[in-house]
Amino acid sequence: MTAPTAARRPHTATYHGIALNDPYAWLKDPSYPEVKDADVLAYVEAENAHFEAWMAPHAPLVDALFTEMRGRMKEDDASVPVRDGDWLYWWAFETGGQYRRWFRKPVVGGDEVLILSEPALAEGHEYFRLGGLAVSPDGGRLAYAVDDNGSERFTLRVRDLATHEDGPVISVETLGSPVWAADGASLAWVEVNAEWRPWRVRLHRLGNAGEDAVLYAEDDASFFVGIDRTQDRQFLTIVAADHVTSEVRLVPIGDLAAPPRLVSKRQAGRMYDVDSGQGTLFVRVNDTHRNFRVCTAWPENPGEWHELIAGSDQVYIRDLTALRDWLVLGERVNGLDQLRIRAVDGTEHRIALPEASYTVSLGENPEYAPEMVRVYYQSMVTPPTVFDYEVKTRVLTTRKVQQIPSGYDPALYETQRLHIVARDGTPIPVSLVRRRDAVRGKLHLYGYGAYGLAIPPGFSTSRLSLVDRGVAFAIAHIRGGDDLGYQWYLDGKLEKRGNTYTDFVDVARGLAAAGYAAEGEISASGGSAGGNLMGVVLNTDPSLWRAVVAHVPFVDMLNTMLDASLPLTPIEWPEWGDPITDESAFRRILSFSPYENVRAQAYPPLLVTAGLNDPRVTYWEPAKWVAKLRATRTNDAPLLLKTNMGAGHGGKSGRFESLREVAEEYAFVLAAFGLSTAA
């Protein structure tokens, strides 16, 4: 199994007086997003062949893991029907099916009807993903969008639900869900440009063969545009935002051609969002407190805000939904999710939940005046559960618990919430699950730590294949996420980005000191920004890890942040810094960028994944990183790169194909631990 060797071609660029030598820059195909350079494709395919050759002896283990994981999956699974107007909607899988089929039936009498078949749409495509899905207010039409190559450029169509015939393609350059006008004769949709930036909102009138009118266009390349509909269905919301600043405009659903009304002009560092209900606008904003407060405003004067709920150091307000009778607040208190119900008269309570550590969120609640509130719940030992919550009686009714056909006994497992003190004295939360009868000694640690995205302590049937083999699984809730509030996010970005990396290392060392596994007996994984985390800790502390898996890793970050033509670069500057105009940001990113900091040292076994059509982390980032690691490291531990040639950021589509990729990842980890038998 001779590993491929990438050619080194001289390439130097100078910024702020510092020369960057990049001998693998040629791996970026100049025709991207098309990839057709023969040398690039040859190298990527050689790496794939090397991956397949290395995995071949482990095929029995991969097959065993896949069989286990599939056995825990209810093949004819279906969602709990949800009411929207006169209809009940749900999805279902057929046994053996990779993709969902979508159904509805009248609330009062009538038969179920198939309104959309993902398997039919996916036929003949290596990749398939359903994007937007929206039924017109009168129930007569379905707008839907699909991506069949992983590029996240979706094709939008409208289907007549009486004839089941599709109209002409509206756009092949859209993203997100469309929003219907009240009369069902037109719909708003978001257009992406050549750089994959969602930047314009267009209005399509059914039957109009001409160019769709532009409702809004965002000229700032660092802002992305999205649309939604308020809960009371009174307004289309147009949101322009980067990672730290947002701006909202409102358009009446009854007249989508009306000029958008600005709620409040963008202010750097201020995030706000808006919902409408009870004749009022509800605004969640972090202007006076980093953990957000809630204000009200009149639709006629949306920028004049009146505080309803003050910000709090203890309570992080993450989202709100305005129903006719209640305001539902998604919160996090001491790192634990909560749902607060506030009645019109101001009385309020939190939903009582059965475990001490869990994750909970408001479920699908399309109606404005529901009789009950749909809630999603799970923990590291409790499978995903759907509740209906009767607000007046405060009773939770279980509507569905994820079935595990091959069997699952929660009594065999235990979950813990630990705190490991980081080097600067900050306690870092850790969620851990393991078999009660397992002997301590092997541990897998997962991390992300970016963009204010928390990693909740949720359930995974796939994870059981590690845990049942004696490998404890832990999630490090490191700074950079918002696990402990918005300040937790601020403490892991820009000048404080180093906290994210040292937190992860300190958690690993702390768990080792607590006896869960010795240093060097800990595997680790992360994806995207979490892959960036993997790249950094591999460079700084390679001997700490038994094996590492980096999915679509953001590892060539300095070169990416220096290239404003890439789709995500301008919007990323508030997260990482702008190295083009800010020399201090350049030097800071240079100091930890994984690609630039590969050094001559021994690295542990490493599995890296990529997607040739990935618009978020371009394929050449992991390709360049692996090429440099091969040429620089001092040992010959397994170093594998798998590039999905027909997929993007999320890997293969289809529930079984994606499951096989998890089986490959776990086989790699288990082999590193010496647990490479199929049993």
Strand, helix or coil at 247? strand
Distance separating alpha carbons of residues 643 and 150, to the nearest angstrom: 13
Classify residue 219 by burial, with Cβ atoms within 10 Å: 0-12, 13-18, 19+. exposed
Distance separating alpha carbons of residues 184 and 162, to the nearest angstrom: 14
Q: Which residues, 6+ apart, have CB-to-CB distance to 195 below 8 Å?
A: 221, 565, 566, 567
Catalytic residue among 528, 551, 593, 653: 528
Catalytic residue among 264, 506, 614, 653: 614
Annotation marks residue 649 as catalytic: yes
User: Dihedral of CA 113/117/120/121: which sign?
Assistant: positive
Annotation marks residue 614 as catalytic: yes
Distance separating alpha carbons of residues 269 and 245, to the nearest angstrom: 5
Strand, helix or coil at 87? strand
Beta partners for residue 71, in sequence order = none
Annotation marks residue 582 as catalytic: no
CA distances in angstroms from 424 to 451, 473, 491, 544, listed in the order given = 22, 25, 12, 20
Q: Are 282 and 241 in contact (CB under 8 A)?
A: no
Q: Are 559 and 589 in contact (CB under 8 A)?
A: no
Phi, psi (degrees; rounded to nearest 5) at 260: -60, 140
In the block, residue with structure tokens 């509800």: 282
Q: Are 401 and 412 in contact (CB under 8 A)?
A: no
Write out the E strands in 53-205.
82-84, 87-92, 101-106, 113-117, 129-135, 141-147, 154-160, 165-166, 171-174, 179-180, 186-192, 198-205
Phi, psi (degrees; rounded to nearest 5) at 25: -60, -25
Catalytic residue among 151, 337, 649, 653: 649
Cβ of 229: how many Cβ atoms within 10 Å? 20
Beta partners for residue 418, in sequence order = 430
Query: Which tokens in the block code for residue 556?
Result: 């060539």
Q: Of 663, 648, 644, which is closest to residue 615 (Cα–Cα)?
A: 648
Residue 421's H or E segment, with its range, is: strand 413-421
Write out the E strands in 140-279.
141-147, 154-160, 165-166, 171-174, 179-180, 186-192, 198-205, 213-217, 224-229, 235-241, 246-252, 261-262, 272-277
Distance separating alpha carbons of residues 100 and 97, to the nearest angstrom: 8
In the block, residue with structure tokens 């207010």: 137
Q: Of 216, 162, 210, which is closest to residue 184 (Cα–Cα)?
A: 162
Catalytic residue numbers?
Answer: 528, 614, 649
